[in-house]
């Protein structure tokens, strides 16, 4: 992997990765719909609207591997999710295939599985249960990745990312926290491991309270260094200041499950 494209360069995760991936690969091209405010002179940046195939074709040209963080990163109106996360993700995989890209690491999300209860431990083979339109788009992206892997031989890794941050900041994040350096480790497995064809990993650090069986990532050599338990006291204190959420506190997707929830009216 000599020439890497990373989309979503202006987002929080993209901003972190621009620091942590620097020097890891000989050439990294960064892209987003808007230019990052802190873009360094030695960083190659190409603006692109993922919903426009001609833009996507431009950014994948000459690329060996793609890390796809681009798109709309929270819940939103259907048309926004459709254009950014569904059309945009299809465009990226299709353009990658046409351009002869070898590997794609797709940033999926825990929200593709958000309606599993917190008392149920889940692995990668459980059916998707999205908690939002955003979660639907991530489940779609995983399916598109599988299609291009199986039909066209693109090597694809989907990362069901929990919450990337410096520390877990509440009770839910004690289960789903992902240390940025651990995300780098997962990206590198997806881009470099010789046996990858199509795989799904959970994007989580070494969290004692985790709801996810991440043995598949461990099988490929993932050894997270972050430990959510190191921050348990602070996260528990912060949780005590939050109002109760009868829906979100029950499900793994938290407030994404709560938004617009009205299933109880059918009881």
Q: How far apart are the C-alpha atoms of 241 and 252, rounded to whole Å?
A: 20
Catalytic annotation, residues = 134
The residues that bridge with 158 in the sheet, in sequence order, are: 106, 200
Q: How far apart are the C-alpha atoms of 238 and 202, rounded to whole Å?
A: 25
Strand ranges inside 48-185, DSSP E:
65-68, 103-109, 155-161, 163-164, 177-178
Structure tokens at 223: 């050894």
Closest by Cα among 158, 127, 136 to 85: 136
259-263: list long-range contacts, CB under 8 Å, 24+ apart.
259/75, 259/132
CB 65 within 8 A of CB 104: yes
Q: How far apart are the C-alpha atoms of 102 and 189, rounded to whole Å?
A: 14
């Amino acid at each position: 992997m000599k020439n890497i494209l990373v989309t979503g360069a202006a987002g929080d995760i993209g901003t972190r990765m621009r620091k942590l991936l620097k020097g890891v690969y000989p050439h990294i091209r960064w892209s987003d719909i808007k230019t990052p405010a802190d873009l360094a002179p030695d960083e190659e940046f190409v603006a692109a609207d993922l919903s426009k195939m001609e833009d996507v074709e431009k950014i994948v040209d000459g690329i060996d591997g793609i890390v796809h963080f681009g798109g709309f990163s929270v819940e939103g109106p259907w048309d926004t999710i459709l254009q950014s996360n569904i059309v945009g993700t299809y465009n990226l995989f299709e353009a990658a295939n046409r351009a002869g890209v070898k590997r794609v690491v797709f940033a999926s999300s825990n929200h593709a599985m958000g309606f599993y209860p917190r008392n149920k431990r889940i692995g990668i083979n459980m059916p998707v249960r999205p908690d939002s339109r955003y979660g639907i788009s991530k489940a779609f992206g995983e399916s598109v990745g599988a299609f291009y892997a199986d039909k066209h031989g693109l090597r694809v890794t989907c990362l069901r990312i929990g919450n990337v941050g410096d520390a877990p900041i509440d009770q839910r994040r004690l289960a789903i926290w992902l240390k940025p350096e651990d995300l780098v480790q997962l990206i590198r497995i997806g881009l470099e491991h010789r046996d990858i064809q199509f795989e799904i990993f959970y994007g989580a650090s070494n969290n004692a309270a985790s709801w996810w069986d991440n043995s598949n990532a461990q099988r490929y050599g993932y050894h997270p260094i972050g430990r959510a338990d190191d921050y348990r006291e602070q996260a528990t204190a912060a949780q005590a200041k939050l109002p109760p959420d009868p829906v979100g506190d029950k499900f793994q997707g938290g407030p994404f499950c709560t938004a617009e929830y009205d299933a109880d009216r059918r009881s």
